[in-house]
Amino acid sequence: MDLRDLYQDIIVDHNRNPRNFRTIAGAVRLAEGYNPLCGDKLVVYAQVVDGRVEDVSFVGSGCAISTASASLMTEAVKGKTVAEAEALFTDMHELLTGKSVGDPERLGKLAALAGVKDYPARVKCATLSWHTLNAALHGEQTPVRTE
Ligand code: ZN
């Protein structure tokens, strides 16, 4: 299996079975993201305790790339400090806009999305969850009641 097939498998898997696809009740930060070019819509929830992302999740609907990207994002930032999450956001943004290939060691499975940079129309699908996370992390802590 070459790297491209492996990356494809990761995206398919995370789209079919998204990780952390749920809301978080309690004191959380959240933000809504919308990509009008494709119709991707999601809400990212982040529970931050002492500067660390204790829990992070998302709900919403979108294309395979946006769902897989959001799923991979939650796995990647969970347990990280807010500063580390922001550094990953920068890395992902550079990777997806082709400014840099990023550090494969640090990006791990997130590198599966690298191929998106060859499809400019899809870049916003892949960056949506990251922009939304960033907005959530900089938002106020809000008490959220969920179903
Ligand atoms: Zn999309």
Q: What is the pLDDT of residue 97?
A: 87
**Domain 3-140 - what CATH class?**
alpha beta
How far is the centre of ligand 1, averaged over its atoms, from the C-alpha of 65 (Å)? Answer: 6
Whether the per-residue pLDDT at 147 is higher than 60: the answer is no
Q: What is the pLDDT of residue 76?
A: 96
How far is the centre of ligand 1, averaged over its atoms, from the C-alpha of 142 (Å)? Answer: 28
- Whether the CB-CB separation of 131 and 137 falls below 8 Å is answered with no
- Whether the CB-CB separation of 123 and 13 falls below 8 Å is answered with no
How far, in Å, CA of 53 to CA of 79, rounded?
A: 5
Q: What is the pLDDT of residue 35?
A: 96
How far is the centre of ligand 1, averaged over its atoms, from the C-alpha of 113 (Å)? Answer: 13
95-104: long-range contacts, CB 8 A cutoff, minimum separation 24: 96/123, 96/126, 96/127, 97/123
How far is the centre of ligand 1, averaged over its atoms, from the C-alpha of 133 (Å)? Answer: 16
- Residue 145 — very low, low, confident or very high, per pLDDT cuts 50/70/90? low
Matching residue, tokens 């870049």: 123
How far is the centre of ligand 1, averaged over its atoms, from the C-alpha of 20 (Å)? Answer: 19
- Whether the CB-CB separation of 28 and 42 falls below 8 Å is answered with no
Could you tell me the pTM of the whole model?
A: 0.91
Question: What's the Cα-to-Cα distance from 14 to each of 75, 124, 139, rounded to whole Å?
Answer: 10, 18, 27
Q: What is the pLDDT of residue 40?
A: 97
How far is the centre of ligand 1, averaged over its atoms, from the C-alpha of 72 (Å)? Answer: 15
Write the pLDDT tens digit of every residue in 91-106: 999 988 888 766 667 7
How far is the centre of ligand 1, averaged over its atoms, from the C-alpha of 125 (Å)? Answer: 4
Whether the per-residue pLDDT at 90 is higher than 80: the answer is yes
How far, in Å, CA of 24 to CA of 41, rounded?
A: 17
Which range has the top average pLDDT, 13-17, 96-100, 107-111? 13-17
